């Protein structure tokens, strides 16, 4: 019924909207999908005709509830697949994204159910991103903040890590920084360079681009600093 291409547009609009709020500009979608702005304008028109987005001319688009449901369905597929690949097919968390992107449009409802069952209905994927529930209820807003917004001596727990850039993910996997890891901010240098202590006195200096891909929440007093991964291994 809905093409793969349209599903991709809706997923992308959802993700931009979740980050920056509506309206979502033509060029933001174009950048994310590596299409030209006229192509996006044209497709937004199609999505509007189908009642999946609303638009305001020269401003941008916003998902309707129906459009959001489709986006959540695709996102659920994507994140269940990521979790399954990591858990049952020995993928590392830095490898799962591309494979999930390729498969997310082509799995059946039955497959979705069986994968969810095999994983015991997980609520987050290996990057710490929330997995929409089977009823596709809207996700709650996420209170995590980028590591770059924190100050020296803050103690925080990694909530999730943006899965946009494979190289960044591998860098962080090497550094032992995954969802659930407790970090202490040791230093904030010019140009956004952030130094953190993970467990056992190990210190890591992270370039800004990497630090801003790490979303964290305040550490509870009980949690010790270190490489705990209770969230991503759940």
Partner DNA sequence: ACGACGATTTAGACTAGCCAAAATTAATAA
Partner DNA sequence: TTATTAATTTTGGCTAGTCTAAATCGTCGT
Chain positions contacting DNA, by CB under 7 A = 3, 5-6, 25-28, 30, 34-46, 55, 57-58, 60
Q: Which stretch binds its own copies (CB under 8 A): 28-36, 109-117, 150-158, 179-187?
A: 109-117
Q: Report the alpha-carbon distance of residue 9 to residue 61 in Å, rounded.
A: 11
Confirm or reject binding of residue 108 to its own copies (CB under 8 A): yes
Angle at the Cα of 162 from the Cα atoms of 158 and 165, rounded to 5 degrees: 130
Give burial (CB, 10 Å; 0-12/13-18/19+) of 89: exposed
Q: How far is the CB of 214 from DNA (least distance, A)?
A: 27
Interacting partner of 58 out of its own copies, DNA, none (Cβ under 5 to 8 A depending on kind)? DNA
Residue 63, beta-bridge partner list: 53
Adjacent-strand bridge partners of 124 = 130
C-alpha span between 43 and 82 (Å, rounded): 28
167 binds, among DNA, its own copies, none (CB under 5 to 8 A by kind): none
The listed partner (DNA, its own copies, none) that binds 71, CB under 5 to 8 Å by sort, is none
CA geometry: angle at 112 spanning 107 and 114, to 5°?
Answer: 125
- Out of 2, 33, 118, 193, which residue is the one contacting its own copies (CB under 8 A)? 118
| Residue 141 bridge partners (DSSP) | none
DSSP string over 85-106: HHHHS---TTTHHHHHHHHTTT
The partner in contact with residue 205, picked from its own copies, DNA, none with C-beta cut-offs of 5 to 8 angstroms by kind, is none
Q: How far is the CB of 83 from its own copies (least distance, A)?
A: 14
38 binds, among DNA, its own copies, none (CB under 5 to 8 A by kind): DNA
Which residues of the shown chain bind its own copies in the complex (CB under 8 A)?
Answer: 85, 88-91, 95, 98-99, 102-103, 106-108, 110-111, 114-115, 118
């Amino acid at each position: 019924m809905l093409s793969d291409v349209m599903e991709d547009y809706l997923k992308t609009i959802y993700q931009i909207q979740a980050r920056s709020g509506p309206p979502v500009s033509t060029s933001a979608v174009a950048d994310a999908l590596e299409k030209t702005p006229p192509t996006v304008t044209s497709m937004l028109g199609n999505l509007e005709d189908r009642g999946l987005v609303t638009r305001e001319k020269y401003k941008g688009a916003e998902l309707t509830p129906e459009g959001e449901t489709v986006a959540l369905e695709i996102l659920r597929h994507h994140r269940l697949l990521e979790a399954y690949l990591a858990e049952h097919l020995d993928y590392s968390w830095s490898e799962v994204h591309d494979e999930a992107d390729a498969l997310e449009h082509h799995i059946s409802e039955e497959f979705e159910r069986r994968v969810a069952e095999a994983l015991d209905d997980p609520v987050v994927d290996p990057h710490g991103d929330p997995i929409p529930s089977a009823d596709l209820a809207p996700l709650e807003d996420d209170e995590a903040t980028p590591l770059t917004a924190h100050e020296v001596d803050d103690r925080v727990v990694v909530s999730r890590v943006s899965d946009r850039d494979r190289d960044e993910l591998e860098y962080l996997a090497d550094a032992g920084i995954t969802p659930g890891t407790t970090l202490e901010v040791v230093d904030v240098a010019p140009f956004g360079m952030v130094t953190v202590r993970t467990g056992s006195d190990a210190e890591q200096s992270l370039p800004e681009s990497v630090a801003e891909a790490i979303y964290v929440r305040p550490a509870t007093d009980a949690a010790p600093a270190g490489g705990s991964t209770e969230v991503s291994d759940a």
